[in-house]
Amino acid sequence: MHRRDFLVRAALGGVGLVSARALYAQQTAATPAPAQGNASNLFDMNQEAAKTVRRPAKPGATRSMNDEERDALGRGFNLAGYLVPFAALGAGAVALTVVLRGMSRRPLPVPGGPLVDPPVGVSATDDEMAKLQAAIRKDE
């Protein structure tokens, strides 16, 4: 990182901090102070007024499972919710390991060494191979 890039990033970070502080001050000034005592509206309400809403069954509908079967199906999804993320992390780690090992087995070009081996059956002089290598280096 160059010095100029560092200074630009530091300045942008400072501007971000100042603007965040100003926004926070505006937000706290606009928000009224909580009332003394119980500040929640949940317990001030009449709890008996809340009623469960149930939609009527569709005509001709039958239950596909009983309560025990429904609970067993839900515990199965619960178990999958705990295990699938870890299985995905493990599969990702295995895939990353395979890719990185494949990349490390690939031979790296040696600086100053031959970049192109002549194909079998092609006769090229050393001067022609040097010109070819120079052209390849220029394209990189």
- pLDDT at residue 107 greater than cutoff 70: no
**Same domain, yes or no: 117 and 101:** no
Residue that is written with structure tokens 């119980």 in the block:
38
90 and 114 fall within a common domain: no
Does 99 map to a domain? yes
User: For residue 97, what pLDDT band results from cuts at 50, 70 and 90?
Assistant: very high
First CA to last CA across the chain, in angstroms?
24
Residue 91 in domain? yes
pLDDT for the residue 94? 96
Residue pair 133/115 in contact (Cβ under 8 Å)? The answer is yes
Q: Is residue 16 one of the residues assigned to a domain?
A: no
List pLDDT tens digits, range 41-89. Answer: 555 666 677 778 888 888 988 888 888 888 888 877 888 889 999 999 9
Question: In this structure, is residue 129 part of a structural domain?
Answer: yes
Range of the domain at 131: 109-140
Structural domain contains residue 3: no
Whether 56 is covered by a domain: the verdict is no
DSSP state, 47?
G
User: Per the structure, how many domains does the chain have?
Assistant: 2
Cβ-proximal residues to 116 (8 Å cutoff; 6+ apart), any chain: 129, 132, 133, 136
